[in-house]
């Protein structure tokens, strides 16, 4: 499968008379864009706000991030979600680089929502402070979940995917500034030179624990709670086959933007044919019951062994209960002779003294940590808030609270905040962006 991603580098995003892309400037007709978003009858109120790097702007509650893209041949950017189900991973897709569409709650947040600071101390905690963010700030008629801590956020999340495709259409018929090419030969038809290299497979564990459908990540529009581990071409991941869900504390989340640009996949591609033979992706899942976790680990280990993998990278979206899936998978791979490295965040408590993962195994002896979800973060007031700051305290965002007997309220009267890293939008960057390092004491 050969995938070409034609990149258009965004220098600025502005509002204007016509929605178009020209000389690095994305112009949006705000009135027409709002009318497009409100075609979904569940969106009752919406505004579009542009947030740029370096501004003293705080965005919360953020529910989703999507890179604007379009397929010149007319196929859906997200098959099974924004259009018909067709195989992703081949052909040409055009992408607007340096920006994202953010789905933001106008009035209500959720356990899996997060916060982005575009400037100041908070900017270092999330990749999205480095992008120009086109924020869909919306309210919906989903009153049945309005005061629920855990929300599906369906209308706002789906609006984000559709609007990203809407903006991508501005470059449908243009020539990109650069083209990235991703292509792997079939596993059993590679050259002798490539086959002599150590073979490596990437095991991904997207969030799929909610047995009630609608909260989980989706693959080709299929709720991944119904999924079993399968072998996928990495191009499918980069090309819209997966979208993010609404479940899991936000710093641990993979947004759709993460799937579209998954850095670990791109790094493995860079080394393919040089230092490794990149076999592809075993797309696994995260489960609730122990027997389900064991079954998935068996599937993953069998596939890796059958593919002839010498080594594997395992990465999980989440922590806590998913740690059991993560460690079982690592151990199962080691048991069949596949040398394995794990990538995840950890939960060591606010004091850093707790056990980092819920379960451990002596075979899991090569682990990469992307940070502590419970780390306390204090941030000064922002000049501007996009969304609703009080959602951090009122609505059960995983890193905020209404009142703590020691720390007081998460949102203070002057607009400053204290929160756990948990609520930083995709803050632990488990997809492979993370600049964090570890210190030994």
Return the closest-CA partner of residue 322 out of 297, 358, 354: 358
Q: Is the pLDDT of residue 440 over 70?
A: no
Q: Residue 303, SS3?
A: helix
22 falls in which pLDDT band (50, 70, 90)? Answer: very high
Q: What local confidence, expressed as pLDDT, does residue 438 receive?
A: 66
Torsion of CA 211, 261, 253, 88, to 10 degrees: -10
Output the CA–CA distances (angstroms, integers) from residue 158 to 138, 163, 182, 331, 431, in the order listed: 12, 9, 27, 37, 22
Q: Please state the domain extents for the chain.
A: 2-423
Nearest to 380 by CA among 349, 419, 352, 351: 419
- How do residues 101-151 score in pLDDT, each as one tens digit? 999 999 999 999 999 999 999 999 999 999 999 999 999 999 999 889 899
pLDDT in tens, 145-198: 988 989 999 999 999 999 999 999 999 999 999 999 999 999 999 999 999 999
Query: What mean pLDDT do residues 225-248 have?
Result: 97
- Alpha-carbon gap, residue 416 to 180, rounded angstroms: 42
pLDDT tier at 352, thresholds 50, 70, 90 = confident
pLDDT band at 434 (very low <50, low <70, confident <90, very high): confident
What is the pLDDT of the chain when averaged over all its residues? 96
Residue with token string 């056990």: 355
**In 3-state terms, what secondary structure has residue 101?**
strand
Residue 152, pLDDT score: 96
pLDDT at 441: 61
State mean pLDDT over 249-255.
Answer: 96
* CA atoms lying within 13 Å on the CB side of residue 116: 32
pLDDT tier at 396 (50, 70, 90 boundaries)? Answer: confident
**Angle in degrees, CA 48, 135, 392, rounded to 5:** 120
439 pLDDT band (50/70/90 cuts)?
low
Output phi, psi for 136, to 5 deg.
Answer: -85, 105
pLDDT tens digit sequence for 53-70: 999 999 999 999 999 999
Number of H helices, E strands in the chain: 9, 24
Give the per-residue pLDDT at 435: 80
pLDDT above 70 for 223: yes
Q: Is the pTM for the entire model greater than 0.85? A: yes
Question: Residue 405 has what pLDDT?
Answer: 95
Residues 156 and 67: beta-carbon distance below 8 Å: no
Distance CA 343, CA 26 (A): 36
Mean pLDDT of all residues in 368-377: 95
């Amino acid at each position: 499968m050969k995938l070409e991603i034609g990149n258009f580098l965004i220098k600025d995003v502005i509002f204007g008379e016509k929605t178009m892309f020209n000389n690095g400037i994305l112009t949006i007709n705000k009135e027409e864009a709002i009318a497009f978003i409100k075609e979904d009858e569940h969106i009752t109120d919406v505004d579009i706000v542009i947030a740029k790097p370096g501004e003293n702007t705080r965005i919360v509650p953020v529910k989703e991030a999507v890179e604007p893209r379009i397929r010149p041949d007319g196929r859906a950017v997200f098959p099974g979600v924004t259009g018909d189900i067709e195989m992703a991973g081949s052909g040409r897709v055009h992408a607007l680089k340096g920006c994202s569409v953010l789905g933001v709650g106008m009035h209500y947040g959720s356990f899996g929502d997060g916060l982005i600071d575009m400037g100041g101390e908070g900017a270092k905690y999330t990749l999205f402070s480095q992008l120009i963010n086109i924020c869909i700030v919306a309210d919906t008629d989903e009153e049945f979940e309005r005061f629920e801590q855990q929300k599906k956020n369906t209308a706002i999340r789906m609006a984000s995917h559709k609007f990203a495709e809407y903006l991508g259409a501005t470059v449908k018929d243009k020539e990109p500034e650069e083209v990235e090419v991703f292509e792997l030969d079939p596993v059993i038809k590679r050259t002798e030179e490539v086959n002599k290299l150590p073979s490596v497979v990437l095991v991904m564990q997207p969030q799929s624990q909610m047995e009630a459908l609608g909260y989980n990540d989706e693959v080709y529009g299929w709720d991944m709670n119904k999924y079993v581990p399968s072998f996928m071409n990495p191009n499918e991941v980069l090309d819209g086959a997966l979208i993010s869900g609404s479940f899991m504390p936000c710093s641990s989340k993979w947004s759709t933007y993460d799937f579209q640009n998954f850095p670990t996949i791109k790094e493995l591609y860079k080394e393919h044919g040089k230092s490794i033979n990149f076999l592809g992706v075993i797309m696994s899942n995260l489960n609730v019951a122990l027997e389900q976790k064991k079954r998935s680990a068996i599937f993953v280990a069998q596939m890796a062994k059958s593919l002839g993998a010498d080594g594997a990278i395992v990465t999980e979206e989440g922590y806590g209960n998913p740690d059991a899936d993560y460690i079982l998978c690592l151990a199962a791979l080691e048991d069949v002779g596949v040398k394995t490295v794990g990538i995840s965040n950890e939960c060591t408590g606010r004091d850093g003294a707790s056990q980092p993962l819920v379960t451990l195994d002596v075979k899991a002896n090569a682990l990469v940590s992307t940070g502590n979800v419970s780390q306390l973060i204090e941030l000064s007031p922002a000049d501007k808030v996009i969304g609703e700051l009080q959602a951090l305290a009122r609505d059960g965002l995983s890193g905020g609270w209404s009142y703590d007997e020691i720390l007081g309220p998460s949102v203070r009267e002057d607009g400053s905040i204290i929160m756990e890293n948990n609520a930083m939008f995709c803050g632990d960057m488990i997809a492979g962006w993370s600049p964090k390092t570890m210190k030994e004491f």
